[in-house]
Amino acid sequence: MLLLITNQKHIMKIDLIWISDGLFTTFLVNSESGLEAYNQIIDVCGAPKVLNQHRDSTIYQLKQAGYGVRKSTAKTSKVKDFTDSELALLGSLGI
């Protein structure tokens, strides 16, 4: 029998969330520490997005660097579908 033991106190902080359309994956800031990674993506790619074929590699590199990354829970990839709190966070970070 295999037992899975988890530490309930350890909750991973999500620094970036991502949304995907047919061609690109766009990264959005979800915390102040995620802003650094967000700006690095812009410096390298010219925008906070990568081709979908590079998404898994980019997410892997972000996680290896210690950032929490997860897919957006919005029903669609349109900004109007983000919750008020998500939009407020983006606004407070100047995005």
Burial of 30 (0-12, 13-18, 19+ CB in 10 A): buried
Residue 37 in domain: yes
Question: Considering the domain boundaries, does residue 26 fall inside one?
Answer: yes
* Residue 11 pLDDT class (50, 70, 90 cuts): low
The answer as to whether 11 is a domain residue is: no
Stronger pLDDT, 17 or 89, i.e. the higher one: 17
Order of strands across the sheet with 49-51?
49-51, 24-29, 16-20, 69-71
- Per residue in 38-80, pLDDT (tens digit) is 999 999 999 999 999 999 999 999 999 999 999 998 765 454 5
- The tally of domains found in the chain comes to 1
User: Which residue is associated with the tokens 């802003």?
Assistant: 35
Is the model's pLDDT at 24 over the cut of 70?
yes
For residue 60, is it within any domain? yes
Which are the contacts of 90, defined by CB distance < 8 A and separation ≥ 6? 28, 29, 82
